[in-house]
A and B are shown apart, each in its own frame.
Chain A
């Protein structure tokens, strides 16, 4: 009886919302789309688009797992997506409503299958690597012409870091990206889930900790562009945005991005529809809109990240498709690794290690 009443109430609110203008709510990473696309979507479909942004996977996941987030489309990264699928947070995609799904790039899809087998719940939006953003002039001034700006040794060898400290080094505040990098650097499996193996990075990170100015996942864009810091461990597209801001400001700062030659973490941001999305119909329309070759190309041209859309390549500007930092060549692609989600107990070890590195406790 109670359930029926609730059902009736839900049905009537659904009716009311249908009577009003239709709307779709999208929750994406900050600075991650060409905003003109949002207006274009509204004009083409007549659906009101409400676009919110976040800057950490953790915040998104907490909203999803609490239930009733109210969003129709969300964009978690691969490892997070996998765990959220397991928790039952998404609804399977209705591919009959996604006319543009043929545009997707099989090379990327082959890798995202690890997180979402059969691509049942998600489509790739963009992908990138985690690597080194470097103020080339300053770093070469300090470490010499042959400074290892394409090696993890730049930020994990205390001898280098000691010299760079005064100039400023930022690390991402993301243990699931830094720990694999350190594991790869010491020759261990970057995707190791063995707490004893993970513990081996503690002395490495503690060794360079005194020389790290800040752990933060977005401030480094401006700091690099202004020349306030010399090195940032950051995300490819963000560093490239810093490079462009520096070039626009014409302040003599030359920023470069390099994926560490030891191997770099490759990550994927996937669009998916929450299980309790208020308007899954419109959500499918949004996904289809994004998968349109020209729309996807416009987004990539704007934010300097590679996408998972093969058909969009012909519309990409040379600056994007021709830049090996964005679209790596075959050899670099071979050198990239992916990670899988930590089980809860290992996640706790990882967070604890990270707290220890950051706070010394």
Chain B
């Protein structure tokens, strides 16, 4: 009975990860065709063994070779990773002080503060990104406000630039940074800091020697939680970014919708996954080690 119970995660993994992955891999090895579905070969079991052999014989890696021939793809991967890295650092910069302040707030306030961090999730993600269009546009709240205060004389072009993409990403992924950091800091015993100060540490060195090491597992978890989904982000760059914001999510969209080339689109997705496997494996390792240490 218990064994059956432990098998559930594996079944989960099989259905929700391995099967879709196998399907996408298969499409990436196929060829474009004008048909439903728009690629060939498709698996036809009615022909039995010969059909199956023909099916595998028709698969090849030419789509992957194609990706190496055009500099668009590696530039898009590189630019996505770069945008994700910068966003992660920015999110950490904004998220850490918030998490820190939350963990130092009076006990009675904390549930309410936690609520405030989670609250935006109650609204659709898409609507929240659209709201930023209203804030950042040339006629938007931010520009109107800055014009009114006399800070600027001409509206700033923020919307449709990479800056807007960074703002959107930091805003959207902030809770994923705050919550794990807060979880680490919340467990910290404040008397440790008192002890450090008694032993002659300044507040800054106490922070560096006590708080930071204790917060680090949360910081690392938060960084991965922000970095990994950001690399493949599509909605934020397409709504807030300009046409010169190059991200792999947009390239993938164009392969699917403009070129209708599902095989090349699948190849782009597979490479993206391979790029992400490295940080995902690192993250898993880190989590396991953390659990071992905790237990």
Contacts and interface: CB of A to CB of B under 8 A. Distances in A.
Contact of B72 (A62, A67, A355): A355
B274 to A, nearest CB: 22
Interface string A161-202: 000000000000001000000000000000000000000000
B246 A361 contact: yes
Contacts of A89: 36
Contact of B246 (A59, A65, A348, A359): A359
Given A228-B139, A361-B75, A62 B257 contact: yes
A87 interface: yes
Contacts of B245: 359
A265 to B, nearest CB: 18
Contacts of A86: 34
Chain B binding surface, main DSSP class: loop
A360 interface: yes
A87 B257 contact: no
Interface string A73-102: 000000000010011110000000000000
B34 A87 contact: yes
A103 B113 CA distance: 66
Interface string B43-74: 00000000000000000000000000011100
B150 interface: no
A354 B253 CA distance: 14
A358 B160 CA distance: 12
B256 interface: yes
B37 A65 contact: yes
Interface string B244-286: 1110000100101111110000000000000000000000000
Contacts of B71: 361
Interface residues of B, number: 27
Contact of A359 (B139, B243, B257, B261): B243
A215 B70 CA distance: 23
A144 interface: no
Nearest to B66: A348
Contacts of A344: 32, 34, 259-261
Interface in B76-99: 76
A86 B260 CA distance: 14
Nearest to A80: B260
Contacts of A351: 254, 258-259
Contacts of A355: 72, 251, 254
Interface in A302-361: 344, 347-348, 351-352, 354-355, 358-361
A64 interface: yes
Contacts of B256: 62
6 A-B pairs with least C-beta separation: A58-B257, A358-B243, A351-B258, A65-B38, A87-B34, A67-B36
B35 interface: yes
A360 B244 contact: yes
Contacts of A359: 243-246
Nearest to A174: B258
A175 B258 contact: yes
A83 B36 CA distance: 11
Nearest to A3: B46
13 contacts: A56-B257, A61-B260, A86-B34, A88-B35, A344-B259, A347-B259, A351-B259, A354-B258, A358-B243, A359-B244, A359-B245, A361-B71, A361-B246
| Residue in B76, B254, B258 with the greatest tally of chain A CB atoms within 10 Å | B258
A61 B160 CA distance: 27
A232 B70 CA distance: 32
Contacts of A87: 34-36, 38
Interface of B: 32, 34-38, 70-72, 75-76, 138-139, 160, 242-246, 251, 254, 256-261
A21 interface: no
A59 B257 contact: yes
A215 B160 CA distance: 11
Nearest to B258: A351
B32 to A, nearest CB: 5
Given A61-B260, A344-B32, A359-B243, A66 B72 contact: no
Nearest to B243: A358
A65 B260 CA distance: 9
Given A67-B37, A214-B243, 20 more contacts: A58-B258, A62-B256, A65-B35, A66-B37, A67-B36, A87-B36, A87-B38, A89-B36, A214-B242, A215-B243, A228-B138, A344-B259, A347-B258, A351-B258, A354-B258, A355-B72, A355-B254, A359-B245, A361-B75, A361-B76
A32 B251 CA distance: 29
Given A214-B160, A215-B243, A64 B139 contact: no
Contacts of B242: 214
A83 B35 CA distance: 9
B246 A62 contact: no
A175 B32 CA distance: 21
A67 B37 CA distance: 7
A151 B290 CA distance: 67
A175 B256 CA distance: 15
A204 B204 CA distance: 59
Contact of A348 (B38, B75, B160, B259): B259
Contacts of B38: 65, 87
Contacts of A83: 34
Contacts of B37: 65-67
Contacts of B260: 58, 61-62, 65, 344, 347
Contacts of A59: 257
Contacts of A352: 70, 72
A67 to B, nearest CB: 5
